[in-house]
Structures are given as C-alpha cells and as structure tokens.
C-alpha cells in the first residue's frame, strides 16, 4: 500500500532529503477562468528501486499546445513504492483535476501501457470478477484501481486516455519525466 508522507514525516527525514520540497496543488479554477475546456495532460511516475530508503515520484502536467507551454503541474513523492504505483498515482492526480475542473473533455497521455490498458480495457473485467484477474488472482494495486475506475467512469466530460512512447522525443512526456526524475534526485542526493 502507498504511504503518503505528511509534512512532519518529511521534516523527520535526514536533512539531505528535506530541500524545502512541497508539491504544488493544481487549481482547476485557473483553467475555468482561461475558458480552456479540452485539456491535454501528461502523466508519469517512477522509482529507481523498491525501497523505503529511496523515493518514487509521480507528476501530472497540463499543457497548452497552442503556445507550447505548461499551464500547471502537480507532483508527489513517496517511499516504499513501485514504478507501477507511481504511474497510477500520476493518473489519479490527472483524473482528480479533470473531474474538479468541469471540462467538456480532455486527453490524458501516459507512457505506461499498464495504466492505459488497465483503465480502458481491464477494469471492466476486473470489476465483473470482483477485482480478480482472468487467472483468479487479486488485482495488484486494487485500492488505486478502484479509485481510478470511479474517477474515469464518473459522469462529466469525456476523458480519452492515450499511450505515448517514453523517451522518444515527445516534449511533454519528456517534461513530465524530467519532473519526476528531478524530484527523485532531490531526495536521494
């Protein structure tokens, strides 16, 4: 299970891990004021090793392709996590933003086939099988999948999930990957 660290827990970490890190909150009202309704979001998550001594990070960016800029970003960090958990956490941040923003539609890009196929193909079967796989095993990261499925299937604007190849020159995928990498680096130096 993923452990979200409180400010006190971050402060209790060794001094080299503090670095005054605070995740930014995305404010959906900003986008409503800009009258941007069909948003593009990019997500990424990762960790170097599954350990309680090194962190994993996840991030979501909202982009404006017209003027090639990042409108806003949100990121987080956790210890004792996996790459897949961080990919799921990044998608959760994106879906939460979309559902708060009352947008008519959006496209969320992920470089995780696990996340894309999980939301667009596998969740329906998992739900019908009481959150068990086709081989009758428990779905890994079930709590996150249940939440993601609820956000993805909630009434509201249409959400399209697209897969983008990682480290292949897509500037927004590279930007969100760099954000995750920088967060991990900040806490492991």
Catalytic (active site) residue 44: yes
Catalytic (active site) residue 27: no
* 98 conformational bin, left if phi > 0, alpha if psi -120 to 50, beta if neither: alpha
Catalytic (active site) residue 149: no
Q: Which of 58, 87, 101, 118 is catalytic?
A: 87
Tokens of 154: 């909630």
Q: Which of 7, 8, 167, 169 is catalytic?
A: 167
Catalytic (active site) residue 52: no
Catalytic (active site) residue 167: yes
Q: Which of 78, 111, 118, 149 is catalytic?
A: 111
CB 75 within 8 Å of CB 183: yes
Q: Which helix (H) or strand (E) segment is 33 a member of? A: helix 28-33
Catalytic (active site) residue 138: no
Q: Which of 44, 78, 85, 149 is catalytic?
A: 44
**Phi/psi at 129 (5° precision):** -100, 20
Q: Which of 78, 85, 149, 177 is catalytic?
A: 177
Q: What is the dihedral of CA 111, 117, 120, 121, to 10 degrees?
A: 170
Q: Which residues are catalytic?
A: 44-45, 87, 111, 167, 177
């Amino acid at each position: 299970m993923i452990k979200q660290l409180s400010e006190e827990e971050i402060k209790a970490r060794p001094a080299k891990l503090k670095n005054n890190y605070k995740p930014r909150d995305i404010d959906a009202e900003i986008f409503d004021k800009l009258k941007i309704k069909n948003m593009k979001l990019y997500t990424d998550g990762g960790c170097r090793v599954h350990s309680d001594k090194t962190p994993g990070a996840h991030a979501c960016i909202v982009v404006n392709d017209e003027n090639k800029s990042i409108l806003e970003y949100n990121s987080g960090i956790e210890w004792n996590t996996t790459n897949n958990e961080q990919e799921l956490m990044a998608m959760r941040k994106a879906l939460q933003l979309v559902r708060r923003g009352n947008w008519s539609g959006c496209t969320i890009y992920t470089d995780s086939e696990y996340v894309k196929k999980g939301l667009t193909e596998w969740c329906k079967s998992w739900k019908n099988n009481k959150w068990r796989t086709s081989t009758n095993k428990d779905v890994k990261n079930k709590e996150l999948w249940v939440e993601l499925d609820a956000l993805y299937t909630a009434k509201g604007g249409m959400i399209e999930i697209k897969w983008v190849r990682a480290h292949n020159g897509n500037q927004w995928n590279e930007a969100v990957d760099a954000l995750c990498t920088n967060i991990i680096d900040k806490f492991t130096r």
